[in-house]
Amino acid sequence: MAHSKKAPADFGAPVKFMEADKDSKILKTIYEGSASIYKNEKIYLISRIQKKKALSVTIINGELSDITSSSRCGAGIHAFDQSGASAFISSNTFPQIDFAAMCESLKKLIASSSAYDIKRNKDIFKLEAQVNIIKNEYPHPYEKYDLAGIIEKAKAANKKTQEIDRNRLSVTTNCTVAIDDFIIMRSDGTFSSFQIPRAAVSSSITAKDNGQTVTLGSRLGSSDLSVLFDDAVHSDFMSQSEFYAREALKLCSAPSIEAGKYRVVIDYALAKGLAHEAFGHAAEADLHRGSILWKDQKFIKGERVASPEVNITDGPIFNDYAWQPVGANGNLRSQTEIVKNGLVEKSLCDIFSSREAGVSNENSERIEGFDCPAIPRMTNIRLEYSRPVKTDKRFYDLTPLEVNKMLLENGLIAADCETLLLLGYKGGQVSPVNGDFVFNCSMIYKMNSELRPELYKPAIFAGKTLSALSSIISAIGPVKSDALGTCGKNGQGVPSSGGSNYFLVIDKNENITIG
Amino acid sequence: MKDKVLETLNDFLGRLCAHKDFTAEDFRLTADYNESLALGQKENELLGPYNMPSISKSLTATLYIRWLDKKISNVNLNYAGIMDFEKEIAGWREKSFIDEWAPAVWREETFDNNDALKYKMYDPEIAGVVEGNAQFLFDAIKLIDSKLKPVSKLITVNAFASINRRFIFLGPSASNPVYDFKFSSAGIAFELDNQYSDSFIKRRMFTFADISALIDKAIKYYPAFSVQLDKKELLSRPAVKNIVLTPSVCESFVNKYILSNLYAKPVVEKQARFSLSDFTSQEKHFRDDISIKFEPDFDEYEINNIPLTYEGVQCAPVYFVKNGRLQTPILDLKYSKKAEMPPTAYLSHDTFQSSEYKIKIETGEYECVNNILEDMSEGFIIFDVLGMHTQDHTGGDFSISAPHAMVIHEGKPAGMVKLSISGNFFEILNHHNTKLLNWYGEGDSMALKCLCS
């Protein structure tokens, strides 16, 4: 699947370019020019070439509403001088770029900033050179399906959801497909080439009843077209959509939950939100300083933040929506154990942040596109509880009543407070400084010993990250890691994904509030 | 600015129209050539590997084609697609589709390029910065850093300058763009200890006076952020309290709950709070004294100052709500046809090349914020909220966290608490106690009562 090796040359050129297509000439110019400018002028370059094709199909209430195709192509170059001062330039005219002129502009930019007391970082010179040519085979590759098949499948999904109640439901289904090709080259001879395809299907479901309007959203993704054409994966999407459509109708007349402290049971998508927003971002090394994971001028490695059953890991998962095997600086990305057996272990860092954080480089940087600077960030984050209540059922076969039964049978309904089941992640936000987080869910059920779950409107789930992690007392089911989203750190939107056990049980805590 | 881009586009259209497979009845090409420069300081450190000075140049375009067989294509292009369109044209055709609501290419009858050029939207000073004369951006960052250092441990500042030239070509016989105009933007934003933030963005270069106003406000309010009060003293249980929303918070409420429900697509497709019939019969959904409008501000180089939408429709001033009654949704050409109403200024990133465009609430009662604070014996000023993007705008209910709420006691700031606030925005906006305020002359803010816990 992946071909990787260390580049043997020291600031040389181990990659030979075949004159096979019109891009090879400019790629060779950049590759050899990058080595040359370092050799002659001690300017180190990281060049990123992106070619992206995307397609979006929109179906509204059974009718094809829009098809939009997009293409994007460009080059971005990050330059460093020997003192560690840097500058960045990008152009979307690739392959027609003037590499020499771009280098001149970069040198001028670096020179113009040298009069100021600026932050310098020379760690790029220590990064190991690699050659990574990554090609994959997928079960449902894009080449195998035509546009008509994609439209037909999206239309069928839309109709089936709306037909639950044509009079009271309006459904927009969107299918997006993107194929991103990246080439990353560095002055040290590094050459990495990889493709990150992705597909996502989502339905926005609006219910109008009783003078009230409620909108819920279902979504699922994959690297290839599994989300449409793999029966098991597509069935997950349909189960999610149909459940949300039915519950949206009920929510139009559901009461609000009283604000307060509860024991909460969250589904794996909300748990992904907790791991991603509340903990993952704080674990990104460029945000360490002043974060909840930074004490006495250092990363809190070894500190206990959760029970020994809790592990949090980030790293690429093949054929997942957010899969990205290579960091944006060109080296293979690691699987990073951020929390191991409840103890803080590693941070998500790149070459620029690892030394200051006092941790090893995990090559965890990503970019939205060729015109963006690279920053440390997650791909597929998983929060795992190692001794969950076991079940053989599919996640979508576990109704609120089934969950209520399992909680009751395993003594997980709280005696001193109400127990709430929160379903459906609608996004969240966190302050890495103090660990304050807020998430919103799609719906809430009050669990009870009479096995009659009561539905309530969604309410904010807010609290302190470390309080939430330390309050995880149990879980139900195996890990499911396909909860997708788009991470918007620093204004760059990149696909993210992850998950947890089917359900996590978080005990009542003074620092966690619902509503 | 870059006549070579115009040559490139003219050449592209000449070759495209002559291509044997381009069997178009009509088309529109909207192209943007953009150059920008950005730099910043992160947590006291100027530049560095994540905030280095960055220059970007790009040519992007949207192509809308009505083919002879009545199918349509929507294509987003960049430079490579323009230069290499021969490879792409078969794909455009393959992805074309029948849409009974597909609009004709719009041609303004009376609004020509000379009218477009009257808008105050381009500042040549910004062009100078984009070309690499970034001294002023460095000086502006240093000013903020030096003035706010006494009140903040970690200061992050980002500044940018950007120029854009837009070309709109209409139809197969267009050998030159029907519209060809330039616009610019520049902005600066800062964050103190990752807690307090403020920003300034307009279509002109900002000045030291603009920055000083932001600094003065930060010095007035930010020191109180470090005075934490014990929330339990104030709120032993959830209670309805007076709150004042600062302009950025007020804007996030307005954008989430009002703007999102005004777009014609969700209105027509029954996915918004308001239905199309609510607009056609001008139903009353807001208080009598509330009107909601979009208008360019010709003198102040606001981001709203763009003469035409990306579809070539004039961005004329428009009331979406007048005296509490719905007037028109925000209509692009497709939904104008579907709703059988004239198109309006279409508020989108594609139109403004920015997300900072604004609708305005116009009200008869518009009080000065100081009067309200002095009269408020007990209440809170909300400086930011977490989780607004997760709320359901169609219902109007909100339940969000306000991590930095300033306690007002006997009309004076008394310290900070963290609050959860909840309610229904439409019910609150329409309540007679809710007041629209002017926040130190810089924007709309709001005083209202909601459930605080």
- Which residues, at least 6 apart from A32, have a Cβ–Cβ distance to it below 8 Å? A13
A215/B77 CB distance under 8 A: no
B371 pLDDT above the threshold of 60: yes
Query: How many A/B residue pairs have CB atoms within 8 Å?
Result: 230
Task: Give B416→chain A minimum CA distance, Å.
Answer: 14
A378 pLDDT above the threshold of 90: yes
pLDDT digits (tens, 9 = 90+) for A466-511: 999 999 999 999 999 999 999 988 889 999 999 999 999 999 999 9
Report whether B422 contacts B392 (CB < 8 A): no
B399/A458 CB distance under 8 A: yes
- Which residues, at least 6 apart from B279, have a Cβ–Cβ distance to it below 8 Å? B267, B326, B327, B328, B329, B339, B341
The closest alpha carbon to A492, from A379, A321, A369, belongs to A369
pLDDT digits (tens, 9 = 90+) for A189-228: 999 999 999 999 999 999 999 889 999 999 999 999 999 9
Q: How far apart are alpha carbons B305 and B116 in whole angstroms? A: 10
> How much of chain B, in percent, has pLDDT values that exceed 90?
72
A178 pLDDT above the threshold of 80: yes
Reported confidence tier of residue B445, pLDDT bands at 50, 70, 90: confident
Residues in chain A with CB shorter than 8 Å from the CB of B48 are 86, 118-121, 352
Calculated CA dihedral for residues B396, B400, B406, B411, nearest 10 degrees: 30
Q: CA-based diameter of chain B, in Å? A: 78
Reported confidence tier of residue A15, pLDDT bands at 50, 70, 90: low
Q: How far apart are alpha carbons A71 and A64 in whole angstroms? A: 22
Task: Give A409→chain B minimum CA distance, Å.
Answer: 33
In chain B, CATH 3.30.2290.10 sits at: 3-218
Q: How far apart are alpha carbons A138 and A323 in whole angstroms? A: 13
A69/B76 CB distance under 8 A: yes
10 Å CB burial of residue A335 (0-12, 13-18, 19+) is middle
A1 pLDDT above the threshold of 50: no
Shortest CB distance from B79 goes to which of A92, A118, A457?
A92
- A202 in B contact zone (CB under 8 Å): no
Reported confidence tier of residue B368, pLDDT bands at 50, 70, 90: confident
Shortest CB distance from B46 goes to which of A61, A108, A117?
A117
- Its CATH architecture, for the domain B3-218, is 2-Layer Sandwich (3.30)
Cα distances (Å, whole numbers) of residue B30 to B1, B76, B119, B167, B168: 17, 10, 19, 6, 5
More confident: B445 or A48: A48
Shortest CB distance from B399 goes to which of A64, A119, A459?
A459
Task: Give B58→chain A minimum CA distance, Å.
Answer: 5
A115 pLDDT above the threshold of 90: no
More confident: A250 or B374: A250
List the single residue in B with minimal CA-CA distance to A94. B80
Shortest CB distance from A87 goes to which of B52, B395, B403?
B52
Chain A residues 348-387 with a CB less than 8 Å from chain B:
352, 371, 373, 375
All structural domains of chain A: 2-251 (3.30.2290.10), 263-514 (no CATH)
Which 3 state secondary structure label does DSSP give B398? strand
Q: Which residue has the tokens 């359900």?
A: A503
ipTM of the complex: 0.91
pLDDT digits (tens, 9 = 90+) for A229-249: 999 999 999 999 999 999 999
The closest alpha carbon to A134, from A223, A15, A6, A2, belongs to A2
Residues in chain B with CB shorter than 8 Å from the CB of A440 are 387, 390-391, 399
The closest alpha carbon to A359, from A332, A380, A338, belongs to A338
Structure tokens at B112: 């020509």
What is the pairing mode between strands B155-170 and B179-192? antiparallel
Whole-number average pLDDT of chain A: 93
> How much of chain B, in percent, has pLDDT values that exceed 70?
97
**Over residues B409-419, mean pLDDT:** 84
A460/B78 CB distance under 8 A: no
Structure tokens at B105: 């290419």
Task: Give A358→chain B minimum CA distance, Å.
Answer: 17
pLDDT digits (tens, 9 = 90+) for B150-180: 999 989 999 999 999 999 999 877 678 999 9
- A274 in B contact zone (CB under 8 Å): no
A72/B389 CB distance under 8 A: no
pLDDT at A9: 46
Residues in chain B with CB shorter than 8 Å from the CB of A90 are 54-58
Percent of chain B as helix, strand, coil, to the nearest 5: 30, 35, 35
Reported confidence tier of residue A3, pLDDT bands at 50, 70, 90: low
Chain A residues 113-132 with a CB less than 8 Å from chain B:
113, 116-121, 124
B92/A117 CB distance under 8 A: no
pLDDT digits (tens, 9 = 90+) for B112-155: 999 999 999 999 999 999 998 899 999 999 999 999 999 999 89
Residues in chain A with CB shorter than 8 Å from the CB of B420 are 259, 460, 462, 513, 515
Q: How far apart are alpha carbons A289 and A280 in whole angstroms? A: 14
